Amino acid sequence: MRSEVGRASGPSSLGDGVADLVAAMCPPERARGIVESEGGVDPTLWAALSDRGLLGLVVPGELGGPGRDLHSLAAVQVELGRTLVPVPFMATAVLASEALLKADDVRVSSRLLPLLAAGRTTATLAFAGEVLTSEGDWAPAPVAATQDGDRWALEGRAHFVLDGMNANVVLVVADSQQGPSLYIVEGDGARQIRRSPLHVADRTRRLADLEFRSVAAQPVGVPGQGRHILDAALDLAALALAAEHVGGMLAVLETAVGHACEREQFGRPVGTFQAVQTLCVDTLIDLEVARVALDHAVRCMQDGRDHTTGDADNGPTAVALAAACCAEAYSRCAARAAQVQGGSGFLWTGSAHLHIRRASAGVRLFGTPAKWRARATAGGRSLPISADHVGA
């Protein structure tokens, strides 16, 4: 019942390979232990993903990656979402890598992207403020960049930074005289960042607040292009998150159907009762709709055109629709699966609550479905954010 999104034909597809790798190296019991540990990351699995060239799927071959392949990226994310394994894949292999690519700074990308693709360092992107706007987007992080001769310094605080506690390299969208711009903090500068872990419902994905007090940084790319870079990075992150949500839906459907077939009540499997059948069928319908939306978005982003209409550069619109569709569908499916399992669906030792937590957090990680629907109607363009739009 695994997703066909991003799969090659034949039995030895990438999705199956990742599933087998995770099953062998990070089974549920090990994953649960790592999730509840202080670090929250499985270094052994991370090294294995690196050895198989899976950390550079957005990186072109000339920059140390295997070549940009969004079909493979989606296949990997489906399996990581299905198993909820604790690795910083989204932050390093998607968000930070795409931001570096879109910044188009050869000096930085030629040095750093090969390291990210090889798993030799980790990175993240700090961009969010403390509140969501009324449009469902994160307010800009209140971080400012100042220049003193050749030295740049960052001052302020970024919120909800994905894998921010452990990232060796931090990319920051900060305000400057030229407007929002991208900066990189690494080495001694990264050690100057004051990092605070956030205690959030979804323990399988770590978030942190990062405080910058005259932290040394360097500009990346053209000054004033920070919003353009951020939009492009969030588009790819939303695509990867949609794939992750499809993987989560696969997992909860498999668990719910398995329970319905095995659990007996009144002398027969509970799956023979119409109420339980309806919950499972509704979950399957949500999954199939989400899978179609994801597949369409992957094709549009990979090829730069819409296969249904022939329109060029329709990727951001397709991604926006998939992001909204998959986030809402995952939330519904996770809740239904817990209901099918009855009391056992709420046990800490089970997986149902982990998917409910992941779905609840994911629905606003890069902006709410309302934001993505607004972007879709705007043709994939981001909407302007003003102080009047910021809500408590």
- Using one digit for the tens of pLDDT, what is the confidence trace for 40-93? 889 999 999 999 999 999 999 888 888 889 999 999 999 999 999 999 999 999
HSE-up (13 A, CA, CB side) for residue 202: 23
DSSP three-state, residue 379: coil
Going by pLDDT thresholds of 50, 70 and 90, the confidence category of residue 10 is: very low
Q: What's the pLDDT at 223?
A: 95
CA geometry: angle at 364 spanning 359 and 365, to 5°? 90
How many CB atoms are located within 10 Å of the residue 312 CB?
11
What's the mean pLDDT in 196-204? 91
d(CA 46, CA 119): 7
Other CB atoms within 10 Å distance of the CB of residue 151: 11
Residue 307: the pLDDT is 58
Residues 298-323: what's their mean pLDDT? 81
pLDDT value of residue 310: 61
Q: What is the pLDDT of residue 132?
A: 86
Average pLDDT rounded to a whole number, residues 172-176: 97
How much of the chain exceeds pLDDT 90, in percent? 69
Does residue 130 have a pLDDT over 70?
Answer: yes
pLDDT at position 287: 97
Q: How far apart are CA 124 and CA 317, in angstroms?
A: 25
**Least confident range of 88-92, 240-244, 338-342:** 338-342
Q: Which residues contact 352 (CB under 8 A, 6 or more apart)?
A: 252, 255, 334, 337, 338, 341, 345, 346
Check residue 28 and give its pLDDT.
85
Provide φ and ψ at 196, rounded to 5°: -125, 120
Residue 230: pLDDT band by 50, 70, 90 thresholds?
A: very high
233 pLDDT more than 90: yes
> Mean pLDDT throughout 160-178?
96
* DSSP 8-state assignment for residue 222: S
pLDDT tens by residue, 25-42 = 888 888 888 888 888 889
Residue 378 has pLDDT above 90, yes or no: no
pLDDT of residue 380: 56
